[in-house]
Amino acid sequence: MKAVLDHIGIAVRDLPAAIGFYRDALGLEIEAQEEVESQHVRAHFVPVGGPKLELLEATAPESAIARYIDKRGPGLHHITLRVDDIRAALSQLKARGVRLVDEEPRSGAEGALVAFIHPSAAAGVLVELKQLVVQQADHKSVRPAQREPPRVTVGDLELISVSDGFIRLDGGSMFGIVPKPLWEKKAPADDRNRITLAMRPLIVRGTRTMIIDAGLGGKDDAKFQDIYGVDRSWSLDDTLAEAGLSREDIDIVVATHLHFDHAGGFTMRDASGRIRPAFPRAQYVVRRGEWEDATHPHARNRGSYIADNYVPLADAGVLLFVDEDQTIMPGVRVQRTGGHTMHHQMVTIESNGKRAAFVADMMPTTAHVPDAWIMGYDLYPVDTLTAKQRFIAEAVERGTLVFFEHDPNIAAGYIRDVNGKRTVQPLS
Ligand SMILES: [Zn+2]
Ligand SMILES: [Zn+2]
């Protein structure tokens, strides 16, 4: 088996003293801290060329690090070897009778899979195996297997992240000026240079039941499905049912904007072939400027708008236009971001001091959190930058739970910013 030294873990009792040595005396940089809540550990990575040092600080007395320090004092705690296939590595070790702490891999920091080998089998050193889980170009392997949609409460409101499956879009277009060698580490491209994106509408249940965006819907022909690699095997109807809901339960539909991957699910073809609203009881909230743009497309945005997704709503008389930022139901507001389209809006959710935000295409995936990672599709990218910077500063400060509509792996998370380095702590 091939194994590469990934990092060396050091159990720390006195963090300021450790930082005093590694950062101040040695002059090394200390990266953003990462909290592994399940382990009651806070990790501070120190880059030193190839492998890193990891300063481990206990955050609770029952932490394995606290117990280790009680028993042996602070110091070298473990080494971590990176392997390509952690399950194969574990079964190879098991076959040789090596004593393992973890027979099965579990999830560690940054979504990696990890497993520990008992020190008695490794010359007295606790050895951690680690396999990086790269987002697969074949999205089938990253689709959550038959599980309930993520639910979270924000004050008096309940939020349920649902799904309308996956599409594939050109990786270059998704990352604008970011060079491919950088973005393909975050989002591997397939043989047509496309990356996999999820479509995750959000249900908000409060005084009424709302859905924000509705994915692609099911009206597209085979050519379209081939171009965009459409996979709706995990569709909105499936996930609504998993959440115990149906289309009839929806009172309000909010459109962040009218691009086909957000508004396609607003309408459906009935048995007679007629296109009608897909949520039979709902009123549809649309920004008036976005409606104007969608119904008068130009060469630069025409590919993103399909009239069948929204014109039938006007015919059915279910549209509710908004002209400015406003509350749609208690705790839920639409707020214009511009950038992606002139009237693109996000949705902010606030109840009892808790906050969440559905940012749609202002920041479609967690890879779009750094400043320069802005879609080439955006009509006004500098406006996206301004809106994003303002939003992130506030989200970091106020602990806003951020929903990433297109991220294939992470439905929502908290953005952390330590000395300008932003990370996303996924909602677990
Ligand atoms: Zn869009
Ligand atoms: Zn989109």
pLDDT tens for each residue of 382-418? 999 999 999 999 999 999 999 999 999 999 999 999 8
The mean pLDDT of 37-55, rounded to a whole number, is: 84
Alpha helices in 104-244 (DSSP H): 171-175, 180-186, 222-227, 236-242
User: DSSP label at 25?
Assistant: I
Expressed in angstroms and rounded, the spacing between residue 42 Cα and the centre of ligand 1 is: 37
CA 27 and chain centroid, separation: 34
State whether residue 389 is helix, strand or coil.
helix
Q: Identify the band that residue 142 occupies on the pLDDT scale cut at 50, 70 and 90.
A: very low
User: How many CB atoms neighbour CB 202 within 10 A?
Assistant: 24
The mean pLDDT of 325-339, rounded to a whole number, is: 97
Q: Identify the band that residue 145 occupies on the pLDDT scale cut at 50, 70 and 90.
A: very low
Expressed in angstroms and rounded, the spacing between residue 257 Cα and the centre of ligand 1 is: 7
Backbone angles phi, psi at 63, to 5 degrees: -60, 145
Expressed in angstroms and rounded, the spacing between residue 296 Cα and the centre of ligand 2 is: 19
Q: Identify the band that residue 110 occupies on the pLDDT scale cut at 50, 70 and 90.
A: low
The mean pLDDT of 226-250, rounded to a whole number, is: 93
Look up the CATH superfamily of 139-426.
Ribonuclease Z/Hydroxyacylglutathione hydrolase-like (3.60.15.10)
* Fold: same for 4-131 and 139-426: no
Q: Identify the band that residue 1 occupies on the pLDDT scale cut at 50, 70 and 90.
A: confident
Expressed in angstroms and rounded, the spacing between residue 340 Cα and the centre of ligand 2 is: 9
Q: Which of 147-151, 203-207, 277-281, 343-347 shows the lowest per-residue confidence on average (mean pLDDT)?
A: 147-151
Looking at 3.40.630.30, 3.40.50.150, 2.30.250.10, 3.10.180.10, the CATH number of the domain 4-131 comes to 3.10.180.10
Q: What is the largest CA-CA distance in the chain?
A: 76
Q: Would you say 58 and 65 are in contact if contact means Cβ atoms under 8 Å apart? A: yes
Ligand nearest to the CA of 341: 1
The mean pLDDT of 74-84, rounded to a whole number, is: 91
* pTM of full prediction above 0.75: no
Instruction: Name 216's Cβ contacts closer than 8 Å, sequence gap at least 6.
Output: 164, 165, 167, 199, 230, 232, 260, 261, 264, 265
What integer pLDDT is reported at residue 30 of this predicted model? Answer: 82
Expressed in angstroms and rounded, the spacing between residue 349 Cα and the centre of ligand 1 is: 21
What integer pLDDT is reported at residue 111 of this predicted model? Answer: 60
Residue 101, pLDDT above cutoff 50: yes
Expressed in angstroms and rounded, the spacing between residue 143 Cα and the centre of ligand 2 is: 19
Ligand nearest to the CA of 228: 2
Q: Identify the band that residue 16 occupies on the pLDDT scale cut at 50, 70 and 90.
A: confident
Ligand nearest to the CA of 301: 1
Q: Would you say 216 and 264 are in contact if contact means Cβ atoms under 8 Å apart? A: yes
**Structure tokens that stand for 333 in this block:** 């507001």
Expressed in angstroms and rounded, the spacing between residue 406 Cα and the centre of ligand 2 is: 7
User: DSSP label at 100?
Assistant: B
- Domain coordinates in residue numbering, the chain: 4-131, 139-426
Top mean pLDDT of 47-61, 94-108, 112-126, 180-194 is at 180-194
**Structure tokens that stand for 75 in this block:** 């110091």
Residue 140, pLDDT above cutoff 50: no
Expressed in angstroms and rounded, the spacing between residue 403 Cα and the centre of ligand 1 is: 15
Expressed in angstroms and rounded, the spacing between residue 102 Cα and the centre of ligand 1 is: 43
- Residue where the block lists tokens 């949609």: 149
Q: Please state, in angstroms and rounded to a whole number, the distance separating the CA atoms of residues 265 and 215.
A: 5
Q: Please state, in angstroms and rounded to a whole number, the distance separating the CA atoms of residues 265 and 143.
A: 20
Ligand nearest to the CA of 294: 1
CA 234 and chain centroid, separation: 17
State whether residue 171 is helix, strand or coil.
helix
Edge-to-edge order in the sheet of strand 401-403: 326-329, 332-336, 345-351, 354-358, 401-403, 412-418, 421-426
Q: Please state, in angstroms and rounded to a whole number, the distance separating the CA atoms of residues 259 and 237.
A: 20
Expressed in angstroms and rounded, the spacing between residue 86 Cα and the centre of ligand 1 is: 38
pLDDT tens for each residue of 274-289? 999 999 999 999 999 9
Torsion angle of the four alpha carbons 85, 88, 92, 97, in this order, in degrees rounded to the nearest 10: 100
> CB within 5 A of ion ligand 1: which residues?
259, 361
Ligand nearest to the CA of 164: 2
The CA distances from residue 375 to 9, 200, 279, 300, 310, in Å, are 37, 18, 30, 14, 24
